[in-house]
């Protein structure tokens, strides 16, 4: 009798659990105290978000369709955990600005439709010790600035809407990669028949301690002069005591060309990880260059919870006025040829 | 001992499952590639959303109150799965624009408060082979255009806020229906003391292979001339090999009167469903008429995942310039008396 | 064999449940029919939200880090359940406007970062029979009006972004409290170097039937004249048949000073609770005073579902024109020296 009762209980629980297991609710809350210092009186102290990992809330799941075929979906909304605001385009409401995709996955790879990270962005995250985040994060992608929707007067887009992606399967002996085609959804009129389109390609190889990837992408602006090209190379080698990594990245729009070379490293230290990076940003044919150095440590209370701290320093040459910026604390400016520094201390919690 | 351990494990799991079972997270991701063709250079190719079922994310649950009484809630947010944007009124953020209700349900029916589908809309969805969605979806509702909030210069509203609804119980031998009263929440001043109010009624009968429903609704505008009346009749009969269906619908605002007659059918074919419709749209006392025909197929990988494709064609008479439109790809225009076509290929995944 | 199968089933369920138990999805839907009456033709009837408890959707969880240390997160979005709209700042989209925090909790208390209720607000909710909600809710906080973001031309803020809070542990023999520091994140320039900052303190004592708390807070405006100070005292004593409670609250901005004294009581009655309050609002050195009285009852179908009704009446002296307002039905005005009344009947459902 008791066994039957237990079995019945199990069955009922299984029903509930099965119903729930269609969707995994997941996310990150990462909030910190940041101090940004520029020139003169413009320093700022406040709460910021996403110092170690971007704060987010998501919903995802996969379904086994049989015959090694799967369907999957992924909805992921960025948020400013210091204020609770969402990051939908042009709104303080929540939107799935980070990812909104449906996929078919099989032996031949994955077909993915919707909004996603652009193929040419990913390496600059993976090979940066700071994952592009916080005061230490690299500026190796979208160096020219993030473009407004439907325009390309900025840099290359980090996420891209209306994308059709093909991703290689995991079974290629270490090779990985993706091809991406995003529709600008403009009518095919001059001056730029491809306005708003994006085309990207990424190819990598990971074997043992080695990881390396090449990527390139092109975002089509409102005129051919406003097309943005991005290309980058990422390399890392895990020596155990330290994992050196490198990013070379270039972005071009018309006559403007900026090239980045960043050396980085992570190293296990106690129940945590040391992080360091040194980047040189060069603007072709001009004095608009700058250098950035960052040093940080993340202490893991558990796999899910980390306390971290980072220091970063940026120095402009005479033709540049770049400043260290973070999400959730509006950037303080730097003077032409000036310097900028940042420090942060925060908590990152996965759920 | 083991039995006790199992029982304790069960109890602990039951606690977790019970806590979770208060809320079911559910939704649809439906993303497709759509091509819309109008006149001249205005054709468009891109990603769209909701070709088979509207993309959405929701939270719902019911509670047993004893004595055949239940409480229930339902929050459902539409989204553009091709861009990740939400559909809150006047925002790209997520809002529960599709449904936001709390209910008491008993032997006598359901009392429901909040935002919901309007009673006069539902039949045009149920008796359309394309469920109003994608390039093939019927235009039998809100023919005059969706009104802006607080105005009625458009057509009848698909969803309606501030509604008080009563729904018949399921125990009436096949009869179903609802009465709905939505508050415009204006002060009772001229020219229209009922401005913003909505009143709707739906009554149907479903028995064996037969289903049929009558509905009517009235939305009160900023002046009596801008009141919108909608009425419709839906019929279907499932013959097994094919299920023919019919919609007759009419919408009136002032002197403007548009009437739709649509014949449709679904038919099981392999592990999927064939869909077809043929609609005639007549504007009273004018040449602003148009016809639309659509043909589609949905292939089911599972109950949850479908790949679908649809073709649709619309032809205006000399006084009309209607065009096929979808969610997530802005409509290309049609010339007066011109034609418009659409095709889509997509994935729909329930979770 | 069966035992093994059961154990395996349990293990698998435990995996699912564990994955799910990282996040609890929770919320409130509270929708009602409200009638607000002011002067002349301005009365209004419609659906409103949050009459008993503010409608919301949230995601929260805690993680045991070992050694009595825990990490926790809490994301809570307000919503208008009558329309489905969210409450992100300046948007109809959903945002975590009510709470967006990450915490470390230990024997010494809790460190909490992000957006949260302001320390000086909480007592006016806890010691109000109507929890500040609906037609009966107290106006004892933010009496001067809620300020727009980054300004302080209104009253004290109910929730505050960019806050660093420390909360006392539960082990202090009945004492509880918190200190809060929120960053305005302005550069430190004149006329107010602390613009946007908030500092708050709350200290309470709860033992047996007694509960009492003192709180004060200061919100820094764009000039020292626009700084807002709020202080309040709350007391309650549960006599069993009735629980009388009191709020004394004061808010100051420049020369403007408003003081509230509210007496309230709740009393168990059948499967529900009777609620009553009587408040006097005094503006120093002026005739801009008003009084408010409210009476309500909440009938509990279960712990989660309540039907409630409330009546409220407000009378201004010659220098005031306050009106009863609720969330989701825009307030009807009151004339100088006029009166205002409200009644509501609604359903509140926890999930």
Q: Which segment of A32-36, B107-111, B196-200, C252-256 scores lowest on mean pLDDT?
A: C252-256
The model's confidence at residue C155, banded by pLDDT at 50, 70 and 90, is: low
d(CA A115, CA A183): 11
Scanning every residue of chain C, which has its alpha carbon at the shortest distance from the alpha carbon of B116? C83
Q: Pick from A3, A21, A56, A96 the residue to mutate for testing the B interface (most B CBs within 10 Å).
A: A96
**Mean pLDDT, to the nearest integer, of B72-101?**
97
Q: Cα dist. C57→B58, C26, C54, C350 in Å?
A: 11, 6, 10, 10
Q: In the numeric block, which tokens belong to residue A283?
A: 């603007």
d(CA A58, CA A53): 14
Q: Does A22 reside within a domain?
A: no
**Residue B16 clears pLDDT 90, i.e. is over it:** no
Asked casually if ipTM beats, i.e. exceeds, 0.85, the reply is: yes
Structural domain count, chain C: 1
**Residue C14 clears pLDDT 60, i.e. is over it:** no
* Average pLDDT for chain C: 90
**Residue C31 clears pLDDT 80, i.e. is over it:** yes
**Mean pLDDT, to the nearest integer, of A302-329?**
95
Question: So what's the pLDDT on residue B334?
Answer: 85
Question: So what's the pLDDT on residue A172?
Answer: 95
Distance of CA B227 to the CA centre of its chain: 22
CATH number at residue A343: 2.40.160.10
Q: Does C177 reside within a domain?
A: yes
Distance of CA C298 to the CA centre of its chain: 18
Does C171 contact chain A (CB < 8 Å)? no
Beta strands in chain A (DSSP E): 24-37, 44-49, 56-66, 69-80, 85-86, 99-106, 109-117, 159-167, 175-182, 198-207, 210-219, 228-237, 243-253, 256-269, 272-283, 290-300, 305-316, 339-350
Question: So what's the pLDDT on residue B6?
Answer: 45
**Mean pLDDT, to the nearest integer, of B66-73?**
96
* Average pLDDT for chain B: 90
* Average pLDDT for chain A: 90
SS3 B12: helix
Q: Does A3 reside within a domain?
A: no
Q: In the numeric block, which tokens belong to residue B209?
A: 């292979």
Q: Which of A71, A45, A47, A49 is nearest to A60 (CA)?
A: A71
Count Cβ atoms below 10 Å from residue A241 Cβ, excluding itself: 8
**Residue A24 clears pLDDT 80, i.e. is over it:** yes
d(CA B321, CA B336): 4
Question: So what's the pLDDT on residue B141?
Answer: 85
**Residue C230 clears pLDDT 80, i.e. is over it:** yes
| Structural domain that includes position C231 | 29-350
Q: Which of A153, A144, A142 is nearest to A117 (CA)?
A: A142
The model's confidence at residue A224, banded by pLDDT at 50, 70 and 90, is: confident
Phi, psi of C225, rounded to the nearest 5 degrees: -65, -20
Q: In the numeric block, which tokens belong to residue C267?
A: 């009393």
Question: So what's the pLDDT on residue B225?
Answer: 86
C-alpha distance from C328 to closest chain B C-alpha (Å): 9
Q: Does C128 reside within a domain?
A: yes
Q: In the numeric block, which tokens belong to residue A120?
A: 């040419």
Whether residue A271 contacts residue A285, with contact meaning beta carbons closer than 8 Å, is answered with no
Question: So what's the pLDDT on residue A7?
Answer: 43
The model's confidence at residue B19, banded by pLDDT at 50, 70 and 90, is: very low
Higher pLDDT, A98 or B254: A98
Q: In the numeric block, which tokens belong to residue A160?
A: 């891209």
Q: Does C18 reside within a domain?
A: no
Does B219 contact chain C (CB < 8 Å)? no
Chain B residues whose CB is inside 8 A of the A96 CB are 79, 84-86
pTM of the model: 0.93
d(CA B265, CA A265): 63
Does A272 contact chain C (CB < 8 Å)? no
Whether residue A61 contacts residue C58, with contact meaning beta carbons closer than 8 Å, is answered with no
**Mean pLDDT, to the nearest integer, of B306-331?**
93
**Residue A287 clears pLDDT 80, i.e. is over it:** yes
Scanning every residue of chain B, which has its alpha carbon at the shortest distance from the alpha carbon of C8? B6
Chains with at least 3 CB pairs less than 8 angstroms from chain A: B, C
* % of chain A with per-residue pLDDT over 90: 77
Question: So what's the pLDDT on residue A222?
Answer: 85
For B141-151, the pLDDT digits (tens) are 888 764 444 44
Question: So what's the pLDDT on residue C39?
Answer: 64
Q: Does B20 reside within a domain?
A: no
Question: So what's the pLDDT on residue A39?
Answer: 64
Q: Which segment of A147-151, A346-350, B77-81 scores lowest on mean pLDDT?
A: A147-151
In sequence order, which residues have a C-beta less than 8 Å from that of residue A12 and are 6 or more positions away? Answer: none
Chain A residues whose CB is inside 8 A of the C4 CB are none
Whether residue A181 contacts residue A163, with contact meaning beta carbons closer than 8 Å, is answered with yes
**Mean pLDDT, to the nearest integer, of C228-247?**
97
Burial class (CB in 10 A: 0-12, 13-18, 19+), B2: exposed
Question: So what's the pLDDT on residue B39?
Answer: 64
Question: So what's the pLDDT on residue C142?
Answer: 81
**Residue C1 clears pLDDT 80, i.e. is over it:** no
Chain C residues whose CB is inside 8 A of the B89 CB are 83, 85, 92
Q: Which segment of B119-133, C2-16, C47-61 scores lowest on mean pLDDT?
A: C2-16
Whether residue B298 contacts residue B133, with contact meaning beta carbons closer than 8 Å, is answered with no
Chain B residues whose CB is inside 8 A of the A66 CB are 302
Whether residue C73 contacts residue C111, with contact meaning beta carbons closer than 8 Å, is answered with no
Q: Does C59 reside within a domain?
A: yes
Q: Cα dist. C26→B60, B144, C77 in Å?
A: 11, 40, 10
Q: Which segment of A262-271, B282-291, C325-334 scores lowest on mean pLDDT?
A: C325-334
Contact B161 C83 (CB under 8 A): yes
For C263-274, the pLDDT digits (tens) are 999 999 999 999
Q: Does B118 reside within a domain?
A: yes
Peptide bond into C191 cis (omega under 30): yes
Question: So what's the pLDDT on residue A108?
Answer: 96
Count Cβ atoms below 10 Å from residue C178 Cβ, excluding itself: 21
DSSP B171-219: TSTTEEEEEEEE-----S-SS-TTTT-EEEEEEEEEETTEEEEEEEEEE
The model's confidence at residue B214, banded by pLDDT at 50, 70 and 90, is: very high
Higher pLDDT, C255 or A27: A27
Residues 132 to 161 of B: which have CB under 8 A from any C CB? 161
The model's confidence at residue C187, banded by pLDDT at 50, 70 and 90, is: confident
Q: Which of A130, A123, A124, A120 is nearest to A265 (CA)?
A: A130
């Amino acid at each position: 009798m008791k066994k039957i009762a237990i079995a019945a209980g199990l069955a009922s629980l299984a029903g509930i659990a099965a119903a729930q297991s269609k969707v995994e609710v997941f996310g990150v809350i990462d909030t910190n105290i940041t101090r940004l210092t520029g020139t003169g009186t413009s320093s700022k102290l406040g709460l910021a978000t996403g110092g170690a990992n971007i704060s987010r809330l998501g919903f995802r799941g996969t379904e086994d369709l049989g015959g090694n075929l799967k369907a999957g979906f992924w909805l992921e909304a960025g948020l400013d955990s210091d204020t609770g605001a969402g990051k939908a385009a042009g709104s303080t409401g929540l939107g799935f600005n980070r990812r909104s995709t449906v996929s078919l996955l099989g032996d031949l790879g994955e077909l993915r439709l919707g909004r996603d990270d652009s193929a040419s962005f990913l390496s600059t995250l993976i090979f940066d010790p700071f994952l592009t985040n916080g005061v230490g994060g690299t500026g190796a992608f979208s160096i020219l600035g993030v473009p407004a929707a439907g325009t390309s007067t900025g840099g290359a887009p980090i996420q891209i809407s209306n994308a059709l992606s093909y991703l290689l399967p995991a079974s290629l002996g270490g090779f990985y990669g993706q091809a991406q085609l995003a529709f600008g959804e403009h009518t095919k009129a001059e001056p730029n028949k491809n306005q708003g389109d994006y085309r990207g390609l990424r190819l990598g190889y990971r074997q043992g301690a080695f990881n390396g990837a090449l990527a390139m992408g092109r975002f089509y602006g409102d005129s051919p002069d406003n097309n943005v090209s991005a290309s980058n190379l990422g390399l890392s080698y895990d020596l155990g005591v330290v994992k050196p990594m490198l990013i070379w990245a270039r972005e071009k729009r018309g006559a403007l060309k900026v090239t980045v070379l960043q050396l980085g490293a992570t190293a296990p230290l106690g129940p945590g990880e040391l992080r360091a990076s040194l980047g040189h940003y060069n603007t072709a044919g001009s004095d608009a260059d700058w250098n950035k150095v960052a040093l940080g440590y993340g202490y893991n209370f558990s796999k899910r919870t980390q306390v971290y701290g980072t220091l970063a320093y940026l120095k402009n040459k005479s033709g540049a006025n770049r400043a260290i910026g973070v999400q959730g604390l509006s950037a303080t400016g730097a003077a032409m040829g000036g310097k900028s520094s940042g420090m942060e201390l925060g908590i990152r919690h996965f759920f």
